[in-house]
Amino acid sequence: MKIIKTIFAAFLLIAITSVGLTSCNNSRNPLKEASQNTVSQKVIIPDTLNMSKDTLALRVRQRTLKEIEKQQALVAKEALAAVTQTNDAINFIHTGHVKKAETAIKSALDNTKILLKKSPGADLFPVDESVNVHDIVTTIPQVKHVVKGANAEMTKGNYQAAADMLNNLKSEMDIVTVNLPLSTFPGGLKQALSLFGKNKTQQAGQILLGMMNSLVVNQVVIPLPVLRAQVMLAESQNLFIRKEDKSKIMNLLENADYQLKLAQALGYGNFDKEYADISKDIANVKNSVKNGNASQDIFAKLMKKTEDFKNRLIKSSRKLR
């Protein structure tokens, strides 16, 4: 099997750079101004960001690469080898190299035994992954304007039009992983080997093809606004440690809060209470900075809470297909 490694690093950089300051753009935007009237609860958009676009883009890219590396670390070399050898066996059968096919299957079976010994009771083992980034330059009022329009199309029965509108509301990194199902794969290999012993080579090939089609695809979604919020919170902590101007620290905290609210508006997670809790914590940190009684500990707790929240969002987004 040709192993696909489509981590679009160049596209990733372009996407993150293009977003610029999604919540911090103070240029006139007719759509934003028109849609302000549709928002029942006004959310203040920070006018500026005390952090350069290049620095923001670079640090968000670093965070996205860390998330990718976390997923890559889960790939099991034995699982990858078992899948590759199974695919090799299929190719050998097609080219008439029956002995080589049988050897490849035995090697694949040996690798599954190693996996079973290493992780008894485990099932899905990652063998490959790909990454796609979808991003938009938008604000909370714009998002709510689109949602309102989609709802209007739904009431008219224009479901496809509504779906197209909502499908554009994405600011995320999708990591798709192909997994070997260890609960069924070794049994299929053994069945194929037994068919070889009966000179039923073509039937063995069909079994192997069915096994390749049984690989499980797993997808997780990482909201980019949450990653941007984390970058801004980290920078606010750095400025606090360096005893920079309070207004700069407050500005970064306000922008981080807006990014989290943007993630919520885009529908990432069903965690209304948790979004509200973090927003409240950010407000408390802002007050502490303003009153001069902030500490590194209060920043560290906020960043940990945001990291834990992001991990729960990722876990809740996980789906098999």
Task: Give the phi and the psi of residue 55 in degrees, each rounded to 5.
Answer: -65, -45
Element (H, E) at 251: helix 246-265
Calpha distance 273→309 (Å, rounded) = 11
Element (H, E) at 133: strand 124-134
168-194, pLDDT tens digit by residue? 899 999 999 899 999 999 999 999 999
- Residues of the chain with pLDDT > 90, as a percent, come to 61
Range scoring the smallest mean pLDDT among 58-67, 68-77, 121-130, 259-268: 68-77
Task: Provide the whole-model pTM.
Answer: 0.76
Strand arrangement, sheet containing 216-223 = 124-134, 172-181, 216-223, 319-320
